[in-house]
Amino acid sequence: MSTVYGQETYIQQIFADRIGGANYGKDTAIYKFEKIKRAKAAAKKDFPDVELIDMGVGEPDDMADSGIVAKLAEEAAKRENRGYADNGIPEFKEAAAKYLRDVFGVEGIDPATEVVHSIGSKPAIAMLPSCFINPGDITIMTVPGYPIIGTHTKYLGGEVYTVPLTEENHFLPDLEAIPEEVARKAKLLYLNYPNNPTGASATPEFFAKVVEWAKKYHVVVVHDAPYAALTYDGLKPFSFLSVPGAKDVGVELHSLSKSYNMTGWRIGFVAGNPLVVKAFSDVKDNNDSGQFIAIQKAAAYGLGHPEITEKIAAKYSRRHNLLVNALNELGFKAKKPQGSFFLYVQAPKGVEGGPTFATAEDFSQFLIREKLISTVPWDDVGHYIRFSVTFIADGEEEERRVISEIKRRLGDLKFIF
């Protein structure tokens, strides 16, 4: 709160309604990730000598490939790379188009008109509504999901309609259940596969239905695909843009954060429909001046070496196997996903002779505070917790030790489901 000697200043009265208006900063609600942060701090204080196993972090635990880092250093030392990048360099756009072709089988992407870089996927998700949403328009998103997807539609005076992801429907949205009046007013449909937090993968048949639905209702599809190349057990990396007609209705957002261990580098791209790419480029040009050219060139090097991602995926697959087996031995019904580094499992209702859990958040807080195991709860559609296999562990022996420690800490509990 903005105060001078205990009195509110005029600044408190002039905040935009979209962030709370005159009540901005006065909200006392504690949000999910803040609760997790506080619980972790309390657990560390209460058990200073016990290792906190953090399986809630949604970012890689490893460094970017040494070849990518070396390329960054090389390019950062060049005088010609010092300036503004604006909407990106041709070298990165060409690498992105080639990456889509070589890894995902997407043919015919024009790097000049159908690809533009973004400073990570998050800004792209946030900016795209500015291309389409007027007051009263609707963005459709899935829940559970990434809340930022709906934030800017609301900022612009639009509405957000949520479609639940249920286990019964393989965590795919039921497009037919969207009311006709909602579909007619919708401008954007955001999808995300492999999915955060469920780990579910989409199918060509599902995406074909998405294309048909989008054409029927004149909706732009935004497929957020940061985990698209992280697939396991025979599932090949799969792109929305590889489905016939997809480029007619939308774009796909790719990021090097998860697939190349480049989270803090802030580099990704938007590809697909040339009109959408152009509109996003214009909005982007009014928001930023582009990512550092040396980072774009290092990212282009990475996109040209997809074997880097294959090695990362093999590590996550191995960790998923260990975690799924351990949780199932403890009474959970865990199923290994075919993509992403997230494992989404139903939360127990309680422990025999111990506490009960009305929500997944209750269980997650119990795990952190009593067992020093951090996860992320999701109570949007049922009660689930999300484990991430990005926990800190250097090498396979250390991975096995961490999973064994989880089994040891929870082994004396009999969970009620």
Mean pLDDT per 10-residue segment, the chain (417 residues): 69 95 90 92 95 94 97 98 96 98 98 98 97 98 95 98 98 98 98 98 98 98 98 96 98 98 98 98 97 98 98 98 98 97 98 96 97 97 98 97 98 96
pLDDT, residue 28, reads: 86
pLDDT, residue 30, reads: 84
pLDDT, residue 1, reads: 53
pLDDT, residue 57, reads: 85
Residues 335 and 393 in one domain: yes
Q: Which DSSP state fits 155?
A: H
Residues 280 and 312 in one domain: no
62 located within any domain: no
Other CB atoms closer than 10 Å to residue 193's CB: what's the count? 26
3-state SS class at 106 = coil
Residues 266 and 314 in one domain: no
Residues 295 and 348 in one domain: no
Token pair in block for residue 267: 């580099």
169 located within any domain: yes
Q: Could you give the count of Cα atoms lying within 13 Å of 299 in the half-sphere of its Cβ?
A: 33
- Which H/E stretch holds residue 271? strand 268-272
50 located within any domain: yes
Instruction: Check whether the bond before 194 is cis (ω within 30° of 0).
Output: yes
pLDDT, residue 6, reads: 59
* 8 A C-beta contact, residue 350 and residue 364: no
Residues 312 and 293 in one domain: no
Range of the domain at 382: 28-57+308-416
pLDDT, residue 31, reads: 85
* 8 A C-beta contact, residue 296 and residue 87: no
- Which H/E stretch holds residue 353? none
Residues 165 and 254 in one domain: yes
Closest CA to 24 of 41, 39, 40, 12: 12
Other CB atoms closer than 10 Å to residue 48's CB: what's the count? 7
186 located within any domain: yes
